[in-house]
Structure 1
Amino acid sequence: MVPVGKVKIIPHLEECTPPRGELDADSLSQIALAAILENDHPLKVDAFRWAAHNLADDTLIQRDLDCTFDEPGWQKMAASGLLGLLVEPELGGAGLDLCSALLTIEGLGHGCRDDGLTFALSSQVLTMQLTLDRFGSTEQRREWLPKLIAGEAKGAFCMTEPEAGSDSYSLTTTATPVGDGTYTITGEKAWVTMGPVADLFIVFATVNPDLGRWGISTFLVPASTPGLTVGPNRPKMGMRTTPFANVTFENCLVPESARLGNEGAGASIFSAAMEAERAFLLAGAVGNLERTIDDTISYAREREQFGQPIGAFQAVAHAIADMKVAHETARTLLYKAAALQQTGSPSMMAAAVAKLAVSENALDAARSAIEVHGARGYVSEFEIERDLRNTVGGVIYGGTSAIQRNIIGRLLGLPAGER
């Protein structure tokens, strides 16, 4: 096989997968089918083993309490080529097809107990980099993608605002043309993943409010831009090791060359980014869910009550069986959506179904795990309660469960009605 990118530590990334540019639709479909059918796929297993060995961290409980990002772990992933899974080798990436990248992220989610770190990786690869790679100019891509892949810079995606959440296009952040091909950006973005550590922001702002969503444009804004202020890291219920902040722009001057795509293309860029994010950002969560099942099975075998392992009791066995069904359903829907997207087939329905099922299945399974573990599941030192906290956000970010149901209903031909 053709070697892929610079990935050296996880062997099957360079031995088993040719660059996506060399794959036809049939080959891509076969990769997706293998991803669904092979729960022990080599890419996933190698990523799991690498993460279990290289990202084990006895400070995780304290870092979770302190909301501290794992910078050393991030740099290990950079050194292994994991920060450039989807970017072509010419820019330092691995050039993987989408399903192969998701298998790798799923394996990392299974092997790494720091869900916040794998979530940050997913956000970087599947939202930040993918948007820049798809819509950036040659100059923009060459300037920033190698730095992001090498861990020399981090990126953040700025769309949501304090008063514009599910109503994504009701933006108040503006980009005002001031002549000489320059804009001034003013406004505030909220809940920015990786905001406190980001070096580059993809910012959505309204250039012409009279055009509604078609008046939105997208800009690359370095963190060093005068007038850009990043707020403090915001403690949250889960994913506490992923930094999170508001970002304020006060008359930030940006050149026309910093615009991503054409003026007015922001809504289209955001829609494409969200279709990818809602379907694939939770690939790591599928791996997290498998780890939760592993932990719960181990406990059910070891813990004894009434003279026998609790796994012998039907109520416990059924709970774990339901967790397995949830996991298999999530995996199948994830890779179905990936197969459709990477072969150019319509994937909006599949993406919404996958996002809804993966996020809600993971949440239900994490709650079941706590019930099986009892008091041990409720206290922090055994880490099961952290799995539950980390899954709650999945039904919110990338579009809430209600939004996914709205999308599904609309695509089924139901009346749109009032939002």
Structure 2
Amino acid sequence: MNGLPRAEIAEGFSQWLGTLADWARKHRDGTVEWRDVAGTGLLSLTVPEHLGGAGVGFEAVSTALETAAAGCGPGGLWFAVCAHLLACQEPLVAFGDSEQQQRFLPGMMTGDVIGAHASTEYEAGSDVLSVRTAATRAAEGAWTLNGSKTFVTNGPIADVFLVLARTAPGSPLAGLTSFLVPRGTPGLSVGPPIEKAGLQGSSLATLRLDECELPDSACLGGAGAGYAVLTHTMRIERALILAPTLGLMERALQSAVEHARMRRQFGQRLADFDSVRDRLVTMKINLVSAREMLQATARQADSGRLDHARSALTKVHVSRCFNEFCNNLVDVYGGYALLPETGAGLLLDDAVASRFYSGTSDMNRKIVAQGLGL
């Protein structure tokens, strides 16, 4: 990564960010699709310049995601964008060879190729040692994959899947491999969208791999590099995947403040009640605290200093702030929180979900504890 925008391009990035904010405001009341997002240039921010991207780094992309989400789109759309950016595109940048990068990255930046990360299984979510999807040697230079994956974000619409499979027994350090599996590969089947609450605008699916044959060139980072690919991906994903929620919280706070100013009860504005003001102030504290930590963590990623404990700590803290924010949000609206036009109920569902994807809060707390030497 080139890090934060250099002095000579910082002004250009600032101008682009203003254009992105204008775009988001114009789309606030409409439907936003993948192509719309890709058209802004957002999907190219973290890709280095020599690979055709903007190369402005992780802090820039976190700011852009917050800006876009503050203006438009449901939370699930931005969650899906992050899954594409952080869990499929970023591993390609970090581990892909030139042929893999040239094949997939240009389309990923334009939105013509949507990526999906497939590591979770029914009995192997956070427990990587329990991965059962297996890849065996079919012939010289080829592999055969068998198994299934679930809760694959972008699964129903993805064009390429990054699939984690076991290629050797024993330790995950050498026994796992990540495979790039294009949609349409014989033996790969994608199930229907999984019904879910929350994260509106994203889709999940289950994958099945039955005698799915792939060449050596499908291995990302080479055979046996799966654990390295996974840990790198999770370190970056946990750090940044909640960046759009900062924008969602900003948008919700503005609407809640306006509601408190306009609605009257017992002859006075809601905003005149201490309990309501206290909730709104707490929401502001939640937002600022989450933003400060996430942006500081993004700067660590840009400088190459981000470790797993800090990444996990960021995920725990921001999701905790998001949940407290939403609990106060629904109390500000009261019964009106049940009405879809407030968006409060959907945002609360998104907040609950944030405690479980990219590693549960309990699992991430364990990583933080390990960082403390506990």
* TM-score bucket of the superposed structures, by smaller chain: over 0.9
Judging changes above 3 Å, is the alpha-carbon distance between structure 1 residues 166 and 375 closer, same or farther for their aligned structure 2 residues?
same
Which deviates more from structure 2 when the two are superposed, residues 226-235 or residues 115-124?
A: 115-124
Q: 1:76 pairs with 19, 24, 36, which one? A: 36
**How many angstroms does 1:44 deviate by?**
5.4
Deviations along 1:226-280, one digit per CA (max 9) or x if unpaired, are 0101000011111132011011100100000110012211111100100100110
Q: Structure 2 vs 1, CA of residues 383 and 252 (structure 1 numbering), >3 Å: closer, same or farther? A: same
Give 3-state SS (helix, strand or coil) of 2:130's partner.
coil
Look up the equivalent residue of 1:56 and give its one-letter code. Answer: D
Does 2:261 match 1:296?
Answer: no
CA pair 360-344 structure 1, distance change in 2 beyond 3 A: same
> Displacement, 1:46?
4.3
- TM-score of the two chains, using structure 1 as the length reference: 0.84
Query: Cα distance 1:269–1:212, how it changes in 2: closer, same or farther (>3 A)?
Result: closer
How far apart are the structure 1 equivalents of 2:237 and 2:353? 14
Q: Structure 1 vs Structure 2: percent identity of aligned residues?
A: 34
Distance 2:269 2:15 in 1: 33
Matching residue's letter, 1:20: N
Say yes or no: does 1:397 pair with 2:357. Answer: yes
- Which residue in the other structure is 1:248 paired with? 208
What secondary structure sits across from 2:170 in the alignment? helix
Backbone CA RMSD of aligned residues: 1.9
Q: Which amino acid aligns with 2:129?
A: Y
TM-score by length of structure 2 reads: 0.94
Give, in whole Å, the separation in 1 of the partners of 2:370 and 2:325. Answer: 28
Change in 2 beyond 3 A, CA 1:371/1:242: same
Q: Distance in 1 between matches of 2:290 and 2:106?
A: 32
Aligned partners of 2:3 and 2:303 also within 8 Å:
no
**Corresponding position: 1:230 with 2:190:** yes
Give the superposition deviation at 1:94: 2.2
Q: Structure 1: which amino acid aligns with 2:149?
A: K
Most deviating of 127-136 and 382-391: 382-391
Aligned to 1:189: 149
Letter in 1 for 2:351: T
2:324 aligned with 1:364, yes or no? yes
What is the CA distance between 1:22 and its match in structure 2?
8.9
Distance in 1, Cα, partners of 2:24 & 2:198: 21
Give per-residue Cα distances to partners, 1:320-359, cap 9 Å, x unaligned: 1111111111011101111111111143222111101111
- Quick check: 2:87–2:117 contact (8 Å CA) kept in 1? yes
Q: Which residue matches 1:280?
A: 240
User: Which residue in 2 is equivalent to 1:56?
Assistant: 29
Which whole-Å CA distance do the structure 2 matches of 1:122 and 1:221 have between them?
20
Stretch of structure 1 that moved more, 111-120 or 288-297: 111-120
> CA 1:105 to 1:346, structure 2 compared with 1: closer, same or farther past 3 Å?
closer
Question: Which segments of 5 or more consecutive residues in structure 2 lack a partner in the other structure?
Answer: none
Partner deviation per Cα, 1:174-205 (whole Å, 9 max, x = no partner): 01012221000110011000000011000110
State how far apart, in whole Å, the 2-side matches of 1:346 and 1:382 are. 37
Deviation at 1:93, TM superposition (A): 2.3
Contact 2:27 2:71 (8 Å CA) reproduced: no
